[in-house]
Amino acid sequence: MSDPMSDPSPESPDETDAPRTGYGVIHDYLKTLDSSPGVYRMLDAESRVLYVGKARNLRARVSNYTRPGHTARIETMISQTTRMMFLTTRTETEALLLEQNLIKQLKPKYNVLLRDDKSFPNILLSKSHDYPQVKKHRGARKEKGSYFGPFASASAVTRTLNQLQRAFLLRNCTDSMFETRSRPCLQYQIKRCSGPCVGLISREDYAESVRDAERFLMGRSTKIQEELGAQMMAASEAMEFERAAALRDRIKALTQVQTAQGINPRSVAEADIIGLHLEAGQACVQVFFIRANQNWGNQDFYPRVAADMSPAEIMEAFIGQFYDNKDVPRQLLLSDDIENADLMAEALGEKAGHKVEILIPQRGEKAELIAGAVRNARESLARRMSERATQAKLLRGIAEAFGLEASPQRIEVYDNSHIQGTNAVGGMIVMGPEGFMKNAYRKFNIKGDDLVPGDDFGMMKEVLHRRFSRLLKEDPDRKKGLWPDLLLIDGGAGQVSAVAEIMQQHGVQDIPMIGVAKGVDRDHGKEEFHRPGGRPFALQRNDPVLYFIQRMRDEAHRFAIGTHRAKRAKSMAANPLDDVPGVGARRKKALLTHFGSAKAVSRANLADLKAVEGISSALAETIYNYFQDR
């Protein structure tokens, strides 16, 4: 790959002149370009990237932009172009992958852009323990074990985990909980775990259950059922009726799973089904995940597109960006063909380390799967367009109710949660034209040591101070879309005054703020609204805008109290032994068994610590010194 900052620019114009734009600028670059494959960027007068494209032949591709006859969107893009940047690659495949990476990183205005790029959860059978744990996993695959996925949602993973526990009785507790158990937990009582923590199943039998679970996740449930049936008959003939009953229950659980999975395809073992629907300049892409002949759920996406973009262009851009950081299945079944299918398959195959097929089915079960994906995309887009129209109307209502110049595009709502000042947290939720923007939510652990416990005004001031200090540092010119158009504060005149003071300190006085306080009876529908220096006012009880504000306020409250509860639960579950160097799960269990509690361990003398089985003299001194220092 050549110099990433290659910019064979023509002679620069005089600094006093306005920058040249359009066809002439692009034509001048042809003098220095050759026929290498690569990626090009088109930039405007402020060096913002307008478009990223790939080319098999850079000179030929760029020369296309020097001739008239383009769509209105491309003509506008050309007219705004003042500079281009080029990056040559060894192959066109490399250019394709680089193009999608740059689009995701730079978010150019005129490209198709996949905006929802979250990772998907997997199921992990952890192999770092003698009795493997089954659990949900998201993110990098660093832990040793077998991974199965992706699943479309956390609920799809939970549903499958419940099936695994009923059928194979695998544990889902953490290793530390496993090591400290002295009797079976509720999971054992309701027949969802075989009780390995207290020796109710041998290591060999548990390992066999793990192998069966792996085979089930690979689509071999029928074979497992046959083997379990043979084992049940053998146990019955040997008069081992308790074992036979346990095997019968496992077979029954597997049968229920298979019945629930009646929608699973027979002819597709591993594929992603991708259906696209376009309407009124908007797009929805539905992705169904098929693994081991099982439907592991679906997810919809709404890429940013323009009205003149073709289905092929949108589908190709979606695939390139979607699989940039995700595992690629062996087959992609598409509703619409793409221009560079062979090139895309080659690029994805190189990334995945196995052959990838891209198919556009026309008949049979695969075509039926595509039809189902397209139908879901059409219905999802219709719902979204209806919701967006309602959302736009509500945002206009907000502007009218609070006297704003225009409909707010980003509303930030703040709330605090604590119990008598302990485990205090602040929460910020964000509402936009498309609803709650959950990837923009933020939590704030209240750090102020000088705050009086329960000082809501002081907490709110700390939260807003931290929020706007960071905004001024990250986006001082307000060009990244991070600044709110309206602040809603959960509280009355006191909270509004505290926030206004902080905003004034930061020199930010052009963002309107409203305090939302419950009325005299603290009842829904009687909220009062407070503005800095103004009298409180109310909206009509049946006003849809009032319901909209209540929904935002309740969401902020839910987020703040949920964060507070998680922080409180973590502090309550904390064990002083967790932070002692050299004390792992086994030694912690030995200490707790010997002394009865962590508090007793902290008070023990050195001789008593040395008497614990598995605790060396050096470790006993470490433990003793740790608690003495505290």
What pLDDT digit, counting tens, does each position of 266-290 carry?
788 899 999 999 998 899 999 999 9
Q: Percent of the chain at pLDDT above 90?
A: 43
Q: Which pLDDT value is given to residue 13?
A: 42
Domain covering 270-382 in this structure, CATH number: 3.30.420.10
For residue 122, the SS3 value is strand
Q: Is the pLDDT of residue 387 over 50?
A: yes
Dist CA 300 CA 275 (whole Å):
9
pTM score, two decimals?
0.72
| Domain residue spans of the chain | 23-106, 122-260, 270-382, 411-571, 576-629
pLDDT digits (tens, 9 = 90+) for 464-520: 999 999 999 988 888 888 999 999 998 888 889 999 999 999 999 899 999 998 766
Which tokens in the block code for residue 562?
């949920």
What average pLDDT does the segment 236-248 reach? 78
CA-CA distance, 517 to 150, in Å (whole number)?
Answer: 44
* pLDDT of 221: 62
What single DSSP character describes residue 14? Answer: P
Q: What DSSP designation does 18 have?
A: P
What pLDDT, on a 0 to 100 scale, did the predictor assign at position 521? Answer: 58
Angle, helices 311-322/341-352, rounded to nearest 10 degrees: 10
Q: What is the mean pLDDT of the chain?
A: 85
Query: Minimum mean pLDDT among 103-117, 134-148, 411-425: which range?
Result: 411-425
The predicted-structure confidence for 417-427, as pLDDT tens digits, reads as follows 877 667 788 89
576-629 placed in CATH 3.40.47.10 = no
In the prediction, which pLDDT does 450 show?
Answer: 66
- What are the angstrom distances between the C-alpha of 380 and each of 148, 212, 277, 386? 27, 37, 9, 10
Which residue would you say has higher pLDDT here, 224 or 93? 93
pLDDT in tens, 548-602: 999 999 999 999 998 888 877 776 656 777 778 888 878 888 888 888 777 888 8
**Residues contacting 620, CB < 8 A, separation 6+:** 606, 609, 610, 612
Tell me the fold of 411-571: Nucleotidyltransferase; domain 5 (3.30.420)
Listing DSSP states for 50-117 in one string gives: EEEEEESSHHHHHHHTTSS---HHHHHHHHH--EEEEEE-SSHHHHHHHHHHHHHHH--TTS-B----
Which of 7-16, 482-491, 525-534 has the lowest average pLDDT? 7-16
pLDDT score at 15: 44
Residue, of 142 and 358, whose pLDDT is higher: 358
- Give the span between the Cα atoms of 507 and 504, in whole angstroms: 5
Considering only CA atoms, which of 531, 436, 439 is closest in space to residue 489?
Answer: 531
- On whether the CB atoms of residues 436 and 429 are closer than 8 A, the answer is yes
Amino acid identity of residue 586, one-letter, is: R
pLDDT band of residue 524 (cuts 50, 70, 90) is low
In this prediction, residues 233-252 reach a mean pLDDT of: 78
Count helices and strands (H / E) in the chain.
20, 18
Structure tokens at 62: 């760029």
Pick the CATH number of 23-106 from 3.40.1440.10, 3.40.50.300, 3.40.1790.10, 3.50.50.60: 3.40.1440.10
More confident residue, 433 or 245: 433
Identify any residues that bridge with 276 across adjacent strands, giving them in sequence order: 285
Instruction: Tell me the helix, strand and coil percentages in the chain, rounded to 5.
Output: 45, 15, 35
Instruction: Measure the N-to-C terminal CA separation of the chain; round to a whole number of Å.
Output: 57
Sign of CA dihedral 294, 300, 301, 305: positive
CA distance 275 to 268: 16
Q: What is the mean pLDDT of residues 224-229?
A: 74
Q: What is the pLDDT of residue 241?
A: 79
How does residue 230 score in pLDDT terms, banded at 50, 70 and 90? confident
Dump the DSSP string for 514-571. Answer: EEEE--TT--TT--EEE-TTS--B---TT-HHHHHHHHHHHHHHHHHHHHHHHHHHHH
The pLDDT value recorded for residue 7 is 53
SS3 431: strand
Q: Does 23-106 match 270-382 in CATH topology?
A: no
What is the distance between the alpha carbons of residues 273 and 331, in angstroms, rounded to a whole number?
9
The CA-atom distances, in angstroms, between 152 and each of 155, 179, 408, 608 are: 8, 33, 32, 53
- Which residues have a Cβ under 8 Å from the Cβ of 96 and sit 6 or more positions away? 54, 320, 340, 343, 344, 347
Phi and psi at 302, nearest 5°, equal: -130, 80
Arithmetic mean of pLDDT, 129-150: 88
Mean pLDDT of 111-115: 87
What is the per-residue pLDDT across 191-220, written as a single tens digit (0 to 9) for each? 889 999 999 999 998 998 898 888 888 877
pLDDT at 366: 92
Cα 498 to Cα 532: distance, rounded to the nearest angstrom: 10
* Better pLDDT: 322 or 245: 322
Going by pLDDT thresholds of 50, 70 and 90, the confidence category of residue 65 is very high
For tokens 């008598």, name the residue. Answer: 420
Q: Indicate the SS3 state at residue 281.
A: coil
Instruction: Flag the least confident range among 171-185, 349-363, 369-383, 428-442.
Output: 171-185
Name the band, by pLDDT with cuts 50, 70 and 90, for residue 522.
Answer: low
